[in-house]
């Protein structure tokens, strides 16, 4: 679960409104890039609820919400899970009141909470010091000894203020998402259960209306293998740039198009009701399990039309 901790110190400037709004848009795009990889697990943590954030002195979040071109970004941000205050993300009863974090001499409670909880800090890139994918913090911890005093160390915390910073953290995000997804798939016993969890577990994949019927007809032996293949397809499209890879993503398992003589079997109604060719496919065990889909380059994803017994067999 990627927990994203707001660095409120980045929201204490007196920058002009246009600059602040632009920085907020950059940061929200970074948050949504994380959510694209793990929509179910992405959690926003801050001192206050999202709709009560202040982005600068005298600049409430509502000023950004009301600026041009932000409505969709705000709607997508608002539906993410959130916690407040920061200590809500710590184990019950733990406050870490004996630890303080600073950056360039300024207290940074949110970034400190990110380090303590193993999360990711997020900041408005209004100042150059926040425009980085990692930050070095000074940590001071009170010593529990007769002599008292404190220990001061330097620590590093993962960080994102722009969408570009998220690329550095993709392996970490994907490992967490894959672990959660794998455990969820292992607990499923029917194709109907798997279908109901698809939007949560595989948010980047699309399905035709008739795909639900095919999922419902899956035998229990095929449920887990299908879930594993869906996970591999999700991972493949998550890193796909159709401009650099115009043919297909970098597949995580054996995926190919159908032989010409078998393509007549691979026409299915699409989401708009039109019949289209879904000849990209992958296998799953036990044989002869097969899944058919087509690439949707303009949306950087793929759309699944069929899952079940190999067509024509």
C-beta atoms surrounding 97 within 10 Å: 8
Min mean pLDDT across 114-118, 219-223, 267-271, 272-276 is at: 114-118
Query: Any idea where the domains of the chain sit in the sequence?
Result: 3-167, 187-309
pLDDT of residue 145: 62
Give Cα 229 to chain centroid, integer Å. Answer: 19
CB of 5 closer than 8 Å to CB of 122: yes
Q: What are phi and psi of 79, to 5 degrees?
A: -85, -10
Residue 1: pLDDT above 80?
no
Residue 146: pLDDT above 70?
no
The partner residues of 5 in beta bridges, in order of sequence, read 45, 121
pLDDT of residue 60: 97
Task: Name the DSSP letter for residue 258.
Answer: P
Q: Average pLDDT, stretch 186-203?
A: 94
> Helix (H, G, I), strand (E, B), or coil: what is residue 115?
helix
Distances in whole angstroms, Cα of residue 177 to Cα of each of 151, 180, 213, 274: 35, 5, 27, 34
Residue 148: pLDDT above 80?
no
pLDDT tens digits, 82-100: 999 988 888 777 778 889 9
Alpha-carbon distance of 49 to 160, in angstroms, equals 20
pLDDT of residue 55: 97
CB of 294 closer than 8 Å to CB of 303: yes
Average pLDDT, the chain: 92
pLDDT of residue 147: 64
Task: Name the DSSP letter for residue 310.
Answer: P
Rounded to a whole number of angstroms, the CA Rg of the chain reads: 23
Using DSSP bridges, classify how beta strands 280-284 and 59-60 pair: parallel, antiparallel or unpaired: unpaired
CB of 280 closer than 8 Å to CB of 256: yes
Residue 38: pLDDT above 90?
no
pTM for the whole thing? 0.69
Q: Tell me if the bond preceding 288 is cis, omega within 30° of 0.
A: yes
């Amino acid at each position: 679960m990627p927990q994203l901790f707001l660095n409120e110190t980045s929201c204490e400037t007196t920058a002009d409104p246009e600059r602040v709004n632009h920085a907020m848009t950059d940061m929200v795009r970074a948050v949504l890039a994380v959510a694209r990889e793990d929509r179910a697990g992405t959690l926003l943590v801050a001192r206050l609820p999202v709709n009560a954030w202040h982005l600068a002195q005298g600049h409430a979040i509502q000023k950004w919400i009301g600026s041009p071109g932000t409505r969709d970004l705000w709607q997508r941000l608002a539906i993410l899970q959130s916690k407040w205050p920061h200590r809500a993300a710590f184990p019950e009863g733990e406050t870490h009141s004996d630890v303080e974090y600073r950056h360039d001499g300024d207290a940074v409670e949110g970034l400190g909470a990110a380090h303590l909880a193993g999360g990711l800090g997020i900041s408005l890139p209004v100042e150059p010091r926040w425009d980085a994918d990692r930050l070095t913090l000074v940590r001071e911890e009170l010593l529990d000894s007769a002599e008292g005093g404190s220990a001061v160390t330097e620590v590093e915390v993962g960080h994102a203020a722009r969408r570009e910073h998220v690329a550095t953290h993709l392996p970490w995000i994907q490992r967490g998402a894959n672990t959660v997804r794998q455990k969820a798939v292992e607990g499923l016993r029917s194709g109907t259960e798997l279908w109901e969890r698809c939007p949560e577990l595989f948010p980047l994949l699309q399905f035709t209306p008739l795909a639900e019927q095919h999922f419902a007809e899956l035998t229990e032996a095929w449920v887990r293998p299908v879930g594993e293949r869906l996970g591999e397809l999700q991972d493949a499209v998550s890193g796909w740039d159709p401009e650099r890879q115009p043919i297909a993503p970098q597949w995580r398992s054996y995926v190919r198009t159908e032989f010409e003589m078998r393509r007549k079997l691979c026409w299915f109604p699409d989401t708009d009701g039109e019949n289209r060719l879904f000849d990209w496919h992958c296998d799953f065990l036990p044989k002869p399990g097969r899944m058919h889909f087509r690439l949707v380059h303009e949306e950087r994803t793929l759309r699944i039309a069929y899952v079940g017994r190999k067509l024509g067999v």
